[in-house]
A and B are shown apart, each in its own frame.
Chain A
């Protein structure tokens, strides 16, 4: 229950703004009827409120609100860019609990994809592995060496050509190196 003048004056603003509860508002009302000093304070606050209100209304009448509201209506009506919509969607979708599930799920999915090679050799082909042989090192010990890789038949051929001197000594027949390739 509000009783003394100090409390009443502290509550006057709220009372004028109709923010007090019914009981407190009744106390203030009753006190104002019997206390001239608080009633004078109430009148002072009402005058300040009234002059502020009239001044704001005067100023507001000079402000052109129509362009402001037109801008608001235009922003509401206009099509938003796709990236803004995606960002908004992502903000709504990527909530912490969903992220907590999504991140491990993506990692497990990636581990699974990279494990496929163990169960399905040669798949997926996107990893660039081919069925062709790869010659990592070759030393012909004086022989000329040709390497042929043919993707269509998955054929890799290492072909040795004897040097001219040794060719003269051998009895290799028409199946010469030129004919071979």
Chain B
């Protein structure tokens, strides 16, 4: 069967387009560089109205929780390898073990374990946008509660 010339030309161009697309763009998403984890430990109380100036950017998020006073106790930053545990010391003899599990569609999946000494308090897997965060709160501490802001940034 003899194909029209325009059909042949279109087929060739289409093949070229698909080949170009599949080489750089369609290839599997490259493994990103180590992910930067940032853990902010925040003490929330109802003793007085206050907001730590370092928490100004999180004001709206913290207002969701409805405590009166928020103070940043400490902030830790670590570069973590994918599929490897990173340990963060948290006040009150607690620790946070985080494993960056997956990066897909600009979203990072973290496996998070909060421990009190050796005892696990919570295990969770959370997927959130790159450079985003989520809050893990509730453990009592010195007359208030601890809120952990867990954020991750893939390079």
Contact = CB atoms under 8 A, between A and B. Distances in A.
B121 A141 contact: yes
A68 B77 CA distance: 90
Contacts of B137: 157-160, 180
Interface in A129-151: 129, 131-141, 143, 145, 148, 150
A107 B14 CA distance: 9
Contacts of A97: 4, 6-7
Nearest to A161: B138
B139 A160 contact: yes
Given A122-B106, A133-B127, A134-B127, A177 B138 contact: yes
Interface of B: 4, 6-7, 10-11, 13-14, 17-18, 21, 25-26, 44-46, 60-61, 63-67, 105-107, 109, 119-130, 132-140, 143-145
B134 A175 contact: no
Contacts, number: 156
Interface in A87-125: 96-97, 100-101, 103-104, 107-108, 111, 115, 117-118, 121-122
26 contacts: A104-B11, A107-B18, A108-B21, A111-B21, A121-B129, A133-B132, A136-B126, A138-B123, A141-B123, A143-B121, A143-B138, A155-B135, A156-B134, A157-B64, A157-B134, A157-B137, A158-B122, A158-B136, A160-B137, A160-B139, A172-B143, A173-B46, A175-B144, A177-B138, A180-B137, A180-B145
A162 interface: yes
A134 B136 CA distance: 13
A180 B106 CA distance: 32
Contacts of B140: 162, 170-172
A154 interface: yes
B65 A180 contact: yes
Contacts of A117: 105-106
B67 A180 contact: yes
A134 B4 contact: no
Nearest to B44: A175
Contact of A174 (B46, B61, B66): B46
Interface of A is mostly: mixed
A69 interface: no
A139 B64 CA distance: 23
B135 A156 contact: yes
